Amino acid sequence: MCSDAVLITGKSLGPVSSAIQSLWFFALASDLMIRGAITKGRYWEQRQSNHVLVASDALVRAVKLERSVGIPAVVIADDVDIPDGFWVHRFKAGLLQTPILHFRDRNIVNPFNTFWFQSASVRAFQLMAASPSHRDKYLWFLALHEAVGNGQDLVPPVVLARFIRDGALQMRTKNADDQ
């Protein structure tokens, strides 16, 4: 951690998104929301004692993307490949167990988990009351919370259509008996 920034590096999306989900948990528990970006690219570091020197084109792109986003989310750059397994996991395990969500045209790291879902909205309302100048950011977060709570797909439409076309998923209509 340096300044108000946290740098998480990894060779694949799974461990990076898992670390970010843990960071979300601790941030919300401390009345903080995080904003960031996941990018890919060359990375070099040199460690000496407790100091780390980093040079990375991915870091430069992540900072630019994070600044442009302006919402409390860790977005995933468009050039980062998200394996189908991440999207399939959403349908196998549910929204609170999946590490990646697609919301309002962005792929993001899921800030919620099973233990923290209900409390996250309460915390967002408290933060909004304490800092009304950031109301729009908290409302975005609360809209995401509502989408997860309502069980929306939260998968890119093109991926969902491909899953249905290829038979990986089947559409079914909701009957009156379905709860």
**CA dist 58 → 9, 41, 128, 179 (Å):** 10, 5, 32, 45
In this prediction, residue 76 carries a pLDDT of: 97
Confidence label for 172 from pLDDT (cuts 50, 70 and 90): low
Residue 176 lies in a domain: no
CA distance 12 to 66: 20
Segment 5-39, tens digit of pLDDT:
788 888 899 999 999 999 998 888 888 899 999 99
Domain assignment present for 175: no
Q: Is residue 81 part of a domain?
A: yes
pLDDT attached to residue 2:
43
Q: Is 133 contained in some domain?
A: yes
Give the residue-averaged pLDDT of 154-174: 85
| Domain limits for position 94 | 13-165
pLDDT, tens digit, 9 for 90 and up, residues 93-135: 999 999 999 999 999 999 998 888 988 999 999 999 999 999 9
Q: Is residue 172 part of a domain?
A: no
1 in a structural domain: no
Which is more confidently placed, 26 or 146?
A: 146
Alpha helices, H only, 37-134: 57-69, 84-93, 117-130
CA dist 18 and 28 (Å) reads 16
Using pLDDT thresholds of 50, 70 and 90, give the confidence band for residue 1. Answer: very low
Of 147 and 164, more confident: 147
Nearest to 44, CA basis, from 55, 60, 29 = 55
> What is the tally of structural domains in the chain?
1
In a domain, 178, yes or no: no
**75, β-bridge pairs:** 37, 108
List, in order, residues 6 or more apart from 26 with CB less than 8 Å away. none
**7 domain-assigned:** no
